Structure 1
Amino acid sequence: MMGPVLAACLLIILSTAWISQANGATCKKDGGVCTCNDQTKNVDCSSKGLTAIPINIPADTDRLLLGSNKLSSLPHTAFHGLNKLTFLDLNYNELQTLPPGVFDQLNDLKTLDLQQNQLKSLPPKIFDKLTKLTLLYLQNNQLQRVPEGVFDKLAELKTLDLQNNQLRSVPNGAFDYLSNIKTLWLQSNPWDCSCKDILYLRDWINDNKDKVTGAQDAACGDQQSKAVLEITEEEAAEDCVYPNTTTAIPTTIITTLASSNDDDIPELPVPQENFQKFLGYQEPDHLPTQPQCLMSISGYLGLMMSLVLTSAAILYVIHFLKKA
């Protein structure tokens, strides 16, 4: 009678091992690339040369470190199921865009580090679900603009770093809902002080000098010796239009072009990237990379092996039950 008992035990052990492998393959102890701490719920995948986010990150992870890798894009489901995260580090990667909704399930997130990437823009509402966020690092990117209202839901935010980007202005009211902001970095951006849009930023800095780190260093792009907070209405007299490029086009030029004869209007080259956006073309959300494919194949092979062993154990139990 010991045969069926032993077989049943073997079945339980194999099933437990399979579940562990399926849920924890990202950790080194299970054959993955990340260091996982079960006590602190910390998963460290930094400095691994990753081009894709590892699969099967434990659902109860509190801190996820993905910095200093080679991530150039993220799938919109990258962090789905990780609603326990309070700290997410994506700094020193190669991110050029962020898909809409990528952070929508991270309702408890308090720190988001996106510094030192290649971001040129942010999707509208990208931070809307991060209502508990207190630290947001966006410095050392290539941001040319921020969407209107992109920070409106961040009432708990205490630190916002926007320094060393390509910002020429911010939308009117961009910082009005940051009721708990303590530190804001704005320096090392080419602020356009010839356009009326800059007056909102000037007034906000003047009203919040104690919160803007290096307020005097937020200087005009064309005259770095002059601070934004010193600009007058006469100096910022132009009504400027900011398309999705780095160049502001004064409305006086647009009016002149519109009133000119067709023969006098120069042909303006349209960047291929902007033309594709105009036509509604979008890059595929995410293509699997070689490391991710290899990890997936490894996981499937492990799953198949577990199923084979489990089937063998079941047949073993049936055989002994029939003999009994």
Structure 2
Amino acid sequence: MSIVLSSGGVLFALSTLILVPAAFPCPKECSCDRQAKVVDCQGQGLYDIPNELHPETLELYLQNNHIRGISSTAFREMPQLQVLNLANNSITMISPRALLELRGLRSLILANNSIRELNRRLLGSALNLTQLDLSYNNIAGLPGALADSFHHLTHLSLHYNRLTKLDRTHLEALETLEVLHLRGNPWKCDCQMIGLKLWLETFTFKGGVVDAVACTWPDAMQERDLRHVPYELFHACMTTSYSYLFANIHHLDGQRHPLHGPQPWPSPKAPTGPELGLSAGMPMQDCEAKQKPRAVSLRHAIATVVITGVVCGIVILMMLAAAIYGCTYAAVMAKYHRQLKKQQKQAGEEVEAGALGREEDKEPLENAIA
């Protein structure tokens, strides 16, 4: 009997071992929390993404391995993934379609890899990202449309890369951003950084957190935080491009002017050196134009002409009405005075006639008495 029970127990145990992996299989190199649907494969010396990952996995930790690239099919079977940690690997290449199916991804950590550039399509489908960590890579620039997909991003880490400049247009669309890490980049604090300086001042004024933007060039600004560099050191830039500064000054109240997008630097054709008060170590060529100014919209030009015409027409009508009123009033008053003078003249004549009549009546009476 005991043998039968033992056999039954063995069979039950074997069936349990078979059914549990079937419910949530776990790669042999990893440890898994089946209830939380978490797969931990960190520090296992992996060179590739494991293949035996369950489609219902919510969190995947692959940091501290030797992964060099991520193919377009690496996470195709994991549509529910919310947290992906690939930090401390040797990643140099990421397929633009690698994250295509991860529409629920909220946290993506790619820190401490060898990434040189980001394809604009890579994060286009990750619409629900709240945390993006790209720190400790070799990124020298961000794609222009990168921020268009981030409508929920709150934390962005770009520190310790090779960024020398950052256009404010990359940041303006990040309306939910709360924390921004920019430390450790070789920032070139020339004329093109005034837009970023204004954005950073507004961002911190609203309560945003920024670690530091320490300039490495020019020498006059070296090791100084861009936010704390006085505007006097940008004197050469402002002397040759006041219109650009005024176009960006709206950042101080946190609003973007509807008629102004990202403004390029104008093409200054002015003397250089002491005549402009050029700061030491800031060559004039850094203030030159990088692209042609944006053309004025034809619709806006027509609207301006129409509005100007309407205003001028109203002013002319008001002036004409005032002139007519003045002339009419003058004519009425002149007529009134003429009638008044006529009445006064008639009254005087009547008085004189009365007096003459009394004198004529008096003469016969005097003659009769005599």
**TM-score range for the pair, normalised by the shorter chain length:** 0.5 to 0.7
Which string of whole-angstrom CA distances, capped at 9 and with x for unpartnered residues, describes residues 71-118 of structure 1? Answer: 111111111121111100000111113211211111111111111111
| One-letter amino acid of the counterpart of residue 225, structure 2 | A
> Match of 2:48?
52
Give the C-alpha shift of residue 17 in structure 1.
6.1
After superposition, where does 1:201-240 map in structure 2 within 5 Å?
A: 201-209=196-204, 210-214=207-211, 217-222=212-217, 223-229=221-227, 230=229, 232=231, 233-234=234-235
- Aligned partner of residue 200 in structure 2, secondary structure: helix
Matched, 1:199 2:200: no
| One-letter amino acid of the counterpart of residue 210, structure 2 | T
| 5+ long unaligned stretches in structure 1 | 1-12, 241-248, 255-324
Give the C-alpha shift of residue 250 in structure 1.
5.8
Compute the TM-score of the two structures, normalised by the length of structure 1: 0.62
Give the C-alpha shift of residue 61 in structure 1.
0.2
Cα distance in 2, alignment partners of residues 88 and 22 from structure 1: 22
> Match of 1:40?
36
Contact 1:91 1:114 in 2 (8 A): yes
- Aligned partner of residue 222 in structure 2, secondary structure: strand
Give the C-alpha shift of residue 234 in structure 1.
3.5
> Match of 2:75?
79
Kindly report the root-mean-square deviation, in angstroms, between the aligned alpha carbons of the 2 structures. Answer: 3.2
Which string of whole-angstrom CA distances, capped at 9 and with x for unpartnered residues, describes residues 116-152 of structure 1? Answer: 1111111113212111111111111111111112122
Contact 1:167 1:191 in 2 (8 A): yes
> Match of 1:156?
152
- Aligned partner of residue 60 in structure 1, secondary structure: coil
| One-letter amino acid of the counterpart of residue 115, structure 1 | A
Structure with bigger RCO (C-alpha 8 Å, 6+ apart): 1
Structure 1 pair 250–138 and aligned structure 2 pair: CA distance change class (3 A): same
Cα distance in 2, alignment partners of residues 132 and 182 from structure 1: 15
Matched, 1:92 2:88: yes
Give the C-alpha shift of residue 173 in structure 1.
0.7
Matched, 1:187 2:168: no
Match of 2:111 among 104, 115, 119: 115
Structure with the greater alpha carbon radius of gyration: 2
Which string of whole-angstrom CA distances, capped at 9 and with x for unpartnered residues, describes residues 159-213 of structure 1? Answer: 11111111011234101111111111111111111242x2221111011113132
Cα distance in 2, alignment partners of residues 235 and 108 from structure 1: 48
Contact 1:205 1:212 in 2 (8 A): no
Give the C-alpha shift of residue 42 in structure 1.
0.4
| 5+ long unaligned stretches in structure 2 | 1-13, 242-264, 267-284, 291-370
Cα distance in 2, alignment partners of residues 138 and 235 from structure 1: 34
Cα distance in 1, alignment partners of residues 23 and 100 from structure 2: 25
User: Number of paired residues?
Assistant: 226
- Aligned partner of residue 152 in structure 1, secondary structure: helix
Compute the TM-score of the two structures, normalised by the length of structure 2: 0.55
Structure 1 pair 251–73 and aligned structure 2 pair: CA distance change class (3 A): farther
> Match of 1:143?
139
Structure 1 pair 54–186 and aligned structure 2 pair: CA distance change class (3 A): same
The answer to which structure has the higher helix fraction is 2
- State, as a whole percentage, how many aligned pairs show the same letter: 25
